[in-house]
Chains A and B, each alone.
Chain A
Amino acid sequence: MTTDAPVISCKNVWKIFGDDPEGYLAKMPAGQSYDDIRADGYIAGVKDVSIEVGRGEMLVIMGLSGSGKSTLVRCFSRLHDITGGTIEVEGQDIMALAEKDLIDLRRNKMGMVFQSFGLLPHRTVLDNVAFPLEMRGQDKHARRARALEVIKLVGLEGREDYFPRELSGGQQQRVGIARSLAIEPDIWFLDEPFSALDPLIRREMQDEFLRLQEMLGKTIVFITHDFDEALRLADRIAIMKDGAVEQCDTPDQIVMHPATEYVRKFTEDIDKSRVVHASVLVKPDAQGEGDPVSSTATIHDLAPTLVADLREFIPVTDGTAVIGALSRQEALEVLVGAD
């Protein structure tokens, strides 16, 4: 999915909280663990993270609370100033930006959605959505027209004159989403956008979000503490612990080949067959016979075939040509959850 140069590229990024983080980082010996740093009276919010986000890609950052995922995303948008390393957004070093350029970047390129919505309580839905447009000085009619357009997009037509407290949680987050989309950002940050919602609403909002993303095709950094949500949405998942990225890979790979024990624990209770696609199990040199299956199908989708079929190797096609075959035995093991 990644085309040309990465949209966000960060190298060896550190974010340390404490009295004199720069001084501490400069003097810190290599290989300090999170607990070592803490013993020195500092907190490593982000610890030596290098990661890239490609254009049009959805990167999900997953981790438990306190793992540094929110801090990392706030470094991307420079809500936090980083302590060490570099972050480039579309080739620009954001730490080198003057205040005015940073404001311009946020006014034109970035949108962000917050866990507790972050709506301005004294403004109506319309005025909340139009807020970023107002800040960059667009005239009243243009911003009203655009705001109405995004409000319609998130399905809140007719509620333009409501105040945030008059809306349900799900509706409030729709306002948050609409506001973040009003300026047509290229990069879209979502900080646990659905965590504050009820499970049923959350599911509905995820579907809605996928529909929006289908239409808009933005570059997205999405934060969640919910592994299921990550698997559902992500092109790639970065799993964080104690400020560091444990593993960053596609959902299939993370489920099939967890890099660390910590990651493996997350995958334990997952129904792998719903995550893993046929393409992952393909052996290019294996020869199968008979009708091929689609490489984009999950193992769960293929379950009837796998159980009824008696072939040892089943050919897999990417839609135009056969790219190899998968071992039925291996696929069945994924299906029944054996390791």
Chain B
Amino acid sequence: MAVISTNQPGIKPQQYTSTQIATGVFCVALIFTLLQFTGLLPSWLHRLPESWIPPFAVWLDAAFNFIRTDLGLEKLTRWFAEGPLQFMLDTSANLLYGKKRWPGFEQIPWSAIAAAAAVLGYYLGGWRLAALAGGTFVWTALIGQWTIAMETMSVLVVAAPMAFVIGLGLGIAAWKYPWVDRAIKPILSVLQTLPFFTYLLPAVIFFKVGPTAGAVATIIYAIPPMILMTTLGLKKVSSEVVEAGKMSGCSRFQMLRHVYVPAARTEILVGVNQVIMLCLAMVVLTAFIGMPGLGAKLLAMMGSFKLGRSFEIGVTIVLLAVTLDRLSKAWVVKLPEHFEKGTPWWQRHKYLLAGVGAFVFFTILGQFVEWFAEIGRRQNFSQGKEIDTAIKTFLAFDLVQATTEKIRYVLNVWVLNPFRDFLLSIPTAGFILFVVAGALALGGRRSGIYAAVFFGLVALSGWWDRSVITLYSVISAVILATLIGLPIGILAARSEKWSQRVLLICDTAQTFPSFIYLIPAIMLFGITATSVVMSILIFAMVPLVRYTVEGLRGVPEEMNEAADMSGATRMQKLWNVQLPLALPTMAVGFNQAIMFAFFMVIIAAFIGTQDLGQELQKTLAGTDLGKNFVLGICVSLMALTFDMAIMTWADRKKRLLGL
């Protein structure tokens, strides 16, 4: 009896569920907001007073200066930039577009590269890939963009292999040593949400302006997926293959070299594909720090509203992206096949021989017929002016003009501006609590705490208003993208044929460097705020549609059959069976849409925005590394909050559904 009575006080107070806490937090936030609207809220709860904001930028600057000069990191990076990296970039630049540098060769004739690419395409994927690969280079040469395209490629061919090697090495280390894995994981998730402008400035400061800084920023940007794919692949190697290796008497190095890495070939090659695509996307964007090439040209053309030339450069970039993507994907699925006994040597290596043969033939031809080596300024087929006129005539049609004007007016006046003003009118404390409530409801307690800490830091950074405006662009664009993308996805998922088509379009669109998405928006809406939202909208819609289709098509066939046999109508089946099962997958798409939107909103600073991206872009001109980082981290923290809450929700939901 005594024992029981002493136990009584030990009973824990009743635990609240995450949803109950979320509701509570939401109510507090609502009260704050209403108080603010009635003017009763103390002003420090509305906006933090300037004096409360710690000088993060100054601290960061001090830290950077310490690392840079006192620890001598700058010497090391400068040495690397001016030594090995410059050397490699010079070599590739000399070979690809004849820049007068080491080793002092002439540039490789365009026809030779196009022919070699076509043979490679044929080897990897047959005639269609041959036509795509060869055609891309022929187009680039004929349209008169060979030199700028090769400026871009010369950085790519250096950056991609380096990102591959570093990523592979780090991936192996993370797989082998758990402490490396633990150290790398959080850095990777921040890196993947950090806006690209934040990659650029440190690169400039540590590795000087121009191709070297561009290459470094590109390498760093492309490493994370390589690390992730490498560890994933190595972890997936079947235990029997590993044991077979051990029983064959492999030493540790032999295990890695002959068993693990070859057995993880598929994942590693998928990593290669991602490295190439990210490198291309980034190389184009390094235009912002003065890297010459396709990106710089596109930036200049869009800036002076030369739509025809912008369009042509856009096509070149897209063709290059699709070619590189398809070639590397074909390489992933290309499995070795045996030759019959007694196949002669030249038969076994016929593709290599054909490639080398074509390359040599056109190189020699180029020495005699100038046209095959280099297409002069007057000889190209660029129709820039004509396209320009065509687009402008099209836009000048009353109907078109009226429509775009109308859309712009309605969006701006009725939707976007009021929404932005509303978000800005919410007091900081209330805003943070709203976000926390959302995170709690979706991702549970952990996500809620992270949301509070992350948004608290954003408030303390002193860039609150700019952050809210960034968030407003993201939210409004994603909502619009959802309104348009979801029905498209649902409709497409109804038939196999349309699913395939839409997925192909999405797949292709996803390979385009993000910069490209600005072109149609600017064409239709000029350099305005509507263009910003429009470009984000198109960019964010791709993953939304894609994951909606994949989620709905992924519903197991028996479930659909069970619903049919239960007498469900099409609508009932969609609402009660397909959507609930597809929801976790669709949430992943929604999450990606938000991440893409955060990425795009920063690039859109180029059009002229008032958000963090604008400030970030301004820092690129100077050496204000501290401010650059504070701004970048703000974007990253907001993106991470969403990422964590939504992904936790999707994972939990998937587990509950047993998927």
Contact = CB atoms under 8 A, between A and B. Distances in A.
Contact of B248 (A79, A135, A161): A135
Interface string A162-187: 11011000000000100110010000
Interface of A: 74, 77, 79, 103-104, 106-108, 110-112, 114-124, 131-132, 134-136, 158, 161-163, 165-166, 176, 179-180, 183, 189
B244 A161 contact: no
Contacts of B248: 106-107, 131-132, 135, 179
Contacts of B258: 120, 131, 134-135
Contact of A111 (B247, B251, B341): B247
B249 A118 contact: no
B300 to A, nearest CB: 47
Interface in B330-388: 335-341
B75 interface: no
Q: Which of B238, B246, B339 has the most CB of A within 10 A?
A: B246
Contacts, number: 83
Contacts of A136: 249
Contacts of A189: 247
Contact of A77 (B245, B247, B262, B335): B247
Given A103-B249, A107-B249, A135-B258, A115 B240 contact: yes
Contacts of A114: 240, 243-244
A119 B244 CA distance: 8
A124 B245 CA distance: 15
Contact of A106 (B249, B337, B339): B249
14 contacts: A77-B247, A79-B247, A112-B243, A112-B244, A114-B243, A118-B238, A119-B244, A120-B259, A122-B262, A123-B262, A124-B338, A162-B338, A163-B335, A180-B247
A79 B240 contact: no
Nearest to A123: B262
Contacts of A176: 244
Given A107-B249, A118-B238, A131-B258, 12 more contacts: A108-B249, A112-B243, A119-B244, A120-B241, A120-B258, A120-B259, A121-B265, A132-B248, A135-B254, A158-B341, A165-B335, A166-B337
A118 to B, nearest CB: 3
Q: Which of B241, B247, B254 has the most CB of A within 10 A?
A: B247
Contact of A122 (B240, B244, B250, B336): B336
Contacts of A77: 247
A163 B337 contact: yes
B577 interface: no
A183 B336 CA distance: 27
Nearest to B248: A132
A272 B246 CA distance: 40
Contact of A118 (B243, B251, B337, B340): B243
Nearest to B244: A118
B21 interface: no
Interface in B71-94: none
Contacts of B131: none
B148 interface: no
A119 B263 CA distance: 10
Interface residues on B, range: 20 to 34
B241 A118 contact: yes
Contacts of A117: 240
Contacts of A183: 249
A116 B246 CA distance: 16
A104 B248 CA distance: 10
A206 B250 CA distance: 29
A116 B188 CA distance: 36
Contacts of B337: 163, 166
A131 B250 CA distance: 9
Interface string B232-272: 00000010110111111111001000110011010000000
A110 B244 CA distance: 11
Contact of B249 (A79, A124, A135, A165): A135
A152 B265 CA distance: 30
Given A117-B240, A120-B263, A103 B251 contact: yes
A132 B341 contact: no
Closest 6 CB pairs of A and B: A107-B249, A118-B244, A118-B240, A132-B248, A161-B338, A112-B247
A83 B313 CA distance: 66
A107 B250 CA distance: 8
A166 B335 CA distance: 11
A107 B249 CA distance: 5
A104 B250 CA distance: 9
A132 B254 CA distance: 11
A116 B240 contact: yes
Contacts of B263: 120-122
A62 B177 CA distance: 37
Contact of A120 (B251, B262, B340): B262
A117 B245 CA distance: 12
Contacts of A110: 247
Nearest to A103: B249
B336 A106 contact: no
A103 B254 CA distance: 11
B263 to A, nearest CB: 7
Q: Which of A115, A118, A134, A179 has the most CB of B within 10 A?
A: A118
B244 A79 contact: no
A104 B339 CA distance: 35
Contacts of A162: 338
A58 B408 CA distance: 84
Contacts of B240: 114-118
Q: Which of A106, A124, A189 has the most CB of B within 10 A?
A: A106
A165 B248 CA distance: 21
Contacts of A123: 262
A158 to B, nearest CB: 7
Nearest to B259: A120
B244 A120 contact: yes
Interface string B292-311: 00000000000000000000
A36 to B, nearest CB: 28
Contacts of A132: 247-249
Nearest to A115: B240
Nearest to B241: A118
A108 B247 CA distance: 10
